[in-house]
Amino acid sequence: MKILNVLLVLIFFSCQSEQGVKKDRVFVGNQKVSSKVLSKGKAIYLEYCMACHGVNGDGNGPAAKGSNPPPRNFTQGLYKFGLVEDGGLPSDEDFARIIQGGLKGTAMLKWDISDQQTYMVTQYIKTFAPQVWENKENIPGKKVTINPDPYSIARESSAIQKGKEVYHMVANCQSCHRGYATKDELNEMSQKYNDEPMTDFDEDLYLPKLQVSEYYFYDDKERTAQFVPPDFTWHNVRSGSSVEEIAMRLAAGVTGSGMPAWKGTIEDHEIWAVAYYVKSLMKLKDNKAARKLFMSRLK
């Protein structure tokens, strides 16, 4: 019986692959994609992506129920990790970076497929959200850019200190994530930035705060996803680990999650400083002694 079930599944997906895509598509930016490319992209999708993201791209694949966070529902046409301004549509390069590089701490692995295969499957993924990708009113997202790193390793310690101040006093990142400065440090920073001491501290200052995103589960548009912003000393940062990757993510934000794009809101040198600070916090994750000492100072 088990063998029969396996054979039936193989036959089903073989038939799905053979069906192919019947017509050419024109995506945002007047990007014309042939049915031949889309058909090959479909075959690649069924082989590599379907198990999690589902036959229909709705995030309801056979492996989805065991995945935390859940697989992306491509039918929404929302994508968290593009490097484009103000939540715009991601570029093909953004798709390639995620498909080939994966997302740390999730079931989205690095896929060892060629650039050509990546391009084909990217185009097929777009067919799941025609309301977005075939909407003539939409335009491609503009790639986010920031000025070069003004600190470098030579000024790393000053960058970290500056980033700590920007994190807590300018960007107020602790309003969603958690605070990492002691109350005495916050008081000193407040006097520096606001010319007055900080005497009122939130009870959940040292806790990440539960957030509601724009993403919903495949079968229920009313059941939107909830998530906890990462504690940088504990959780994985999905979209990058280097200072440069963190800086670019801060500049671009995380679409649909409430994490804003900081480009244009704070100065580029402040974005770089926060990136250095966040990286310094990430280094505590696997150092139990350092993290224990660090946590004791926040009580």
Per-position DSSP letters for the chain, written without gaps between them: -HHHHHHHHHHHHHHHHHH---S-EEETTTEEE-HHHHHHHHHHHHHHTHHHH-TTSSS--TTGGG-SSPPP-GGG---TT--BGGGPBPPHHHHHHHHHH--TTSS-PPP---HHHHHHHHHHHHTT-HHHHT-TT--BPPBP--PPPSSTGGGHHHHHHHHHHIIIIIS-GGGTS---S-HHHHHHHHHHHHSS------TTTTS---EEEEEEETTEEEEEEEE----TTTS--TT--SHHHHHHHHHH-BTTTTB---BTTB-HHHHHHHHHHHHHHHTTTT-HHHHHHHHHTT-
* Co-location of 158 and 59 in the same domain: no
* Co-location of 173 and 281 in the same domain: yes
Assigned domain for 220 exists: yes
Given a cut of 80, whether residue 10 has pLDDT beyond it is: no
Structural domain range at position 285: 153-296
How crowded is the C-beta side of 193, counted as CA atoms within 13 Å? 17
Residue range 231-254, pLDDT digits in tens:
999 998 998 899 999 999 999 999
Averaged pLDDT, 181-205: 93
The whole-number pLDDT of residue 13 equals 47
Q: Cα 198 vs. chain centroid, distance in angstroms?
A: 33
Residue range 87-122, pLDDT digits in tens:
799 999 999 999 999 999 899 999 999 999 999 999
State the pTM of this model: 0.89
The whole-number pLDDT of residue 42 equals 98
Assigned domain for 219 exists: yes
* Co-location of 69 and 191 in the same domain: no
Assigned domain for 35 exists: yes
Given a cut of 60, whether residue 15 has pLDDT beyond it is: no
Given a cut of 60, whether residue 70 has pLDDT beyond it is: yes
The whole-number pLDDT of residue 96 equals 97
* Co-location of 193 and 63 in the same domain: no
Alpha-carbon distance of 119 to 266, in angstroms, equals 34
* Co-location of 272 and 165 in the same domain: yes
The whole-number pLDDT of residue 87 equals 79
The total domain count for the chain is: 2
Averaged pLDDT, 213-225: 69
Residue at 173: amino acid letter = C
* Co-location of 162 and 121 in the same domain: no
Assigned domain for 232 exists: yes
Percent of the chain with pLDDT over 90: 73
Averaged pLDDT, 14-26: 76
The whole-number pLDDT of residue 227 equals 85
Q: Is-cis flag, bond preceding 62, omega within 30?
A: no
The whole-number pLDDT of residue 248 equals 97
Q: How far is CA 40 from CA 23, 54, 152, in A?
A: 13, 17, 44
Question: Scanning the structure block, which residue is given the tokens 């999708």?
Answer: 45
Residue 157's CB: how many other CB atoms inside 10 A? 12
Residue range 32-53, pLDDT digits in tens:
999 999 999 999 999 999 999 9
Q: φ, ψ for residue 117 (rounded to 5)?
A: -65, -40
Given a cut of 50, whether residue 8 has pLDDT beyond it is: no
Residue that finishes a domain, picked among 67, 99, 133? 133
The whole-number pLDDT of residue 7 equals 44
Assigned domain for 277 exists: yes
Averaged pLDDT, 184-213: 92
